[in-house]
Structure 1
Amino acid sequence: MIKRIKKSISLKVLTSLVGVTIFVFAGTGVVVNYYNSNVLNQNINKSLTDNATVISKDVNSFFEQGGTLVTQMATNDSIRSLAEAVQTKADIKANANYATVLKSLQNIKATDKNASAVYIALEKPSYIFVDNGKDSPADWDINKRQWYWDTLKAKGLYYTAPYVDALTNKMVITIAYPIFDANGKSVGAVGVDYLIDKLPEIMKQYKAGETGYTFLLDTTGTFMYNPDQSKVLKEKFTDAPGTAGEIGKKMISGENGVATCTINNSDVYAAYAPVKSNGWSVATVITKSEVQKQLVTFNTILITTYVIGLGLLIVALFFVTRKILKDIPKLLEVIKKVAGGDLTSKVDVNSEDEIGQIAEAINDMNNNLNNIVGKISANSQNVSASGEELSAVISEINRQIQTINAGTQEIAAAMEETSASTEEMNSSSALIKGAIVNLNSKAQDGNNSAIEIKNRALNMKKESEISKKAALDMYREKEIAILRAIEDGKIVEEINSMAGIIGQIADQTNLLALNAAIEAARAGEHGKGFAVVAGEVANLAVQSTETVQNIQNLVGQVKTAFENISQNAGGILEFIDKKVTLDYDEMINRADLSLKDANDVSELINDFSKNIGDVSGSIEQLVKSLEAVSAVVEEVASGASEIAGTVNDTKVSADEVAQVAEAQADLAVTLNNIVNEFKF
């Protein structure tokens, strides 16, 4: 089958189109199935969620109805007054509101058929006041009633877990509400035992599909309703394995949502919603198999449609391809004739499409081939004759090549002698070049020495100028300081004058002291104290006179020393100004002379080096010329050798061309025989 497809264009086209169509149909089917599956899941999720929400609202309304009764009881003034007033059991029936309260309890029970019992729990007397008016059992103890304390803890409406009532043997829950006095202290609670046997009727009203069902959980996760009665009040959905148990935990936590899980070994969709009044939760369930059944039905219809459409398409494509490709056999027949050498065949096709154009192109090809073969046949004989003429020309060329080869060998021998002479001249030039290079190196060393001498002279000049400047700066600075010090030394004379004045004052003080002593002696006993003071003053005057003399002696010595220093300092300044400065100038002048001599030597060496460079350049130019001549000679010799080799190669090539010419003549004969096989 595969070989048949490979040999048939129509089968190839048909197979390709069918394959593409199947691929498109399959891709479309996958997309449609994916889209329909999503839409179906969304619809199922919405439907289940809506049902769960509606059921939760109905169940919530059911419980709120009972809660409303209890709330009304808790707000009844008569009931509150009774609960606050009674202290003992004897006070209950003796209370003025007893009859009113009993009637109210009976009326409340009558308003709702689900109310199994209506009562008031009184805390202080530990008494339960029931709507039937019967006395509380003797062993009834409010402290042992957990629902009462849970109600107080809730501080509002409270729903108990379901239980079987002992009197009616029916499933009930207790709905209670606490009663507090004006001080906020608990005095009791009102309650209703509420029948919940109506819940299954509410739950059964809603069903999704054929396999769908609903169930109800209390706050512990226990089934309150389930189509399977064996699970009611006996199993907890939260204990279910896998995802089902996780959904149960979300339900009792008050969440709502949609999820998939496995219940009773069946994969299901489950939507759940909370009952707001008492914290219970409802769920609606439908099996996946029922949901997928709709999708399977749709897919079956879709696949059937695709198969029918594909069959019709294959039939249509078969006839269309046969119609389009009907002229292909005619083309194949003509092509086979052309392959056999018949260039006179023509294709008879009236189509104007691509196949018709191919037929026209084949006819044109036959015409062109016919013309080409005719020309080849006509020219093949000319090629044979030209080959024979070419062979004769090649023989003449070979004779001329031998003559050229002999002359080339003589030229090569002469060039070898010239090359030897050139090499000897090149060697002599190399020796001269080496001597010039050595002389140039010596000149360069001399130039470097002159530069070094120049640099030293320049440095000596700079250092002398710097030293001279430093000496002059110090000379000017110290000259000013010394002159100022000499000027300041004149104060010694002032000190000497002041010492003389102090001496005169001391002499006068001594005279005053003598006068004071005389006056004290005249005063007798009254002048003794004054005589002592006068004696002390006289002593001080004598000491002052001696001190002044010492000062004058020291000042004289200082003056003499200062005059010596001033004379010596003046001599030093004069030495620096007249001797040191001139020595520095002499050093600078000598440095300038050394610098000038170094420049002259450097210029002389540079000129010498330049002349050596010119000679070296000429020698190098001569060497280059000799090298160029040598290279030319070598090239000429090499060229002559190459010419000789080329001439030999040319001779060989000419021989080969002669052989080719002979072969060409033979090929022309063969080609003419081949062309004669065509029919044109």
Structure 2
Amino acid sequence: MNISLKLKSKLLISLILLSIFVFSTVILTTYFLVKDKLYTNIEISSIKSAESYARQISDMFEIRKTELAVYSTMPLIQSLDWDKIEPFLKKEFEKKKDFYDILFVADSKGDYNTVLKRNAGNLQDRAYWKPVMEGNTVISEPVISKSTGNLVSVISVPIKDDNGKVIGVIAGNLKMSNFYEKIKNNTVSHKDSYCYVINKSGKFLAYSDKEYILTESIAAKSKNIPDTFVAASKDILSLEKGSVQFEYKKSDQYVFFSAIPNLNGWKFCLSVPVNYISQPVNEVLLILQIISIIFIVIISIAAIIIGNMIAHPITAVTDFIHNMASGNFTGNIKKSYMERKDEIGILSRAAIKLKESMTEIINKISDNAKNLIESSDTLSYTAEEMSRELESINKSVNEISFGITNTSATTQEVSASTQEVNDSVQYISQRALESCNNANVIKEKAFLVQNDANNSFIEVDKTYKEKADNIIKAIEKGKVFDEVRIMVDTITGIAEQTNLLALNAAIEAARAGEQGKGFAIVSDEIRKLATESSIAASNVKSTIKSVQEAYTSLSQESNNILEFMQNSIKDKFIKFKDAGEQYYADSEQITIFSNDLATMTKNITNTLKMVNEAIQNVAENSSKGTEDASSIVDSVSQSVNDMEKVYTVIKKQVELSNSLNELIKKFII
């Protein structure tokens, strides 16, 4: 288990470290590659947004300017008759008072009337008066209206006669108080972003804080304008469009700016926190980090799975080998591990092969040890027996020595008995010849019985096969009754159909009335014929059924006879044939036995002669045997001593065999 944990831990840690290194490298590389590009794209996009907002502001002023220019070409306005002009302008003012703070018309002397007041004063002291009287349309810097006291931007359009001479001015004070409300939504979706409009000198013309308007300038340091902003303002004032970065209230800010067309150097500025610009980059980094974490988790899971796939089999094989080292050979390795094509499969198969080889060797050693123990036990037992036998031999030799002295007298008696035995053998030899002749006669009769039994068996077997073939053919022919029964069923069906047709014909004849009488008679006859045919077919069917049942019974009985012949008669003839063969074999054996008996009696006669001669030799050697017996006693005594030594060695061998057996028992197979 420790090996498994170490291996899995190494795999897991290696894969996790590798994945962290790879994904960290990919993240950092991607981050640095994407970062600058994203910043550049965001900067370009934000500058374009500032340009778009600047154009919208310009379009808003252009719409009002165009509107006033249209008014200036109207004959009503060109008449400079305020009594006529006033109702029209008041009506227009009511429609557009969301844009205009006031509408007014002035003559060439500068005297003007407004929609709010007649004879409101003179305009010659206004900065825009001279340019407009020169024929130019003028949009003024934001000023405080003398008529209403509100912050306005005056749009002045010259009124010309038909000759193009400027004869007066029509103007509208555009509400600057509503101006910021209209542009403040032109920002990004960040709580700290804001927009403002400055003139060419840097003064605020529109801003959320009205205290800044016409009082604060981005080019002049104040408590509200830090040095960093003043330094950055140089690019804002000198360039048509672009971006600058500065620190404000411990927060880095980006300002994207663009000149507002046709508004005397006015510029639209969009201030955005740097962290908003870096937010997409941070989001990309966060996404990459999340993806990396997900992949690290996936790789960790894969490492665990791979670790299990590698560590578990190795652990199993290690435990298997460890058990074998401890003497336990009962374990096994999963088939799935051995079927693998990799090194684990090779290791598993090698471990199983090692087990099989070790098991085979241990079994052989165990068997040999058992055989050795058994042989040692047998040898020990034999040694003991031999020792006892040698002692018994020693005693017997002593007795033999004593008995030899009596052998001479006994030899004479044996010689006389031998002669009597010789006479008896002569009689047995004569009877054996007679038995041999009788056995030959029995053998001839047994041969005849054997031939008769074989011929009878062949005849019965031939008859059985012929009758069996005939009966089977007869049974096959009997199947024609099934065909006849089918034809009878067909005739019955036709008769029933004919009867039905005749009935339908009778019904149709009845409907035909007088004209159908002849047809009715014919249909009635046909119906009778169909009825009679049906009855006849039923009788035939019944008869065929009876005949078929009888034929089936006959077939069954024939099969029973064949079976009886096969199982009883044929078996009896086989037994009869076998008995004949056995009879012949027995007669053959008797003949052989009789011949052997005759031969043996002759041999016995010859042997008795030799025995008689030997007895004479025994008598002569008896005296010599007495001398040799004492020598044998000495040899047997020496053999007893040697056998005791052998027995001691055998006991040691038995002890070693038992020790080996105990050692083998430690192996569990």
Could you say whether these structures have the same fold, taking a TM-score greater than 0.5 normalized by the shorter chain as the test?
A: no
- Normalised by the length of structure 2, the TM-score is 0.40
- Normalised by the length of structure 1, the TM-score is 0.39
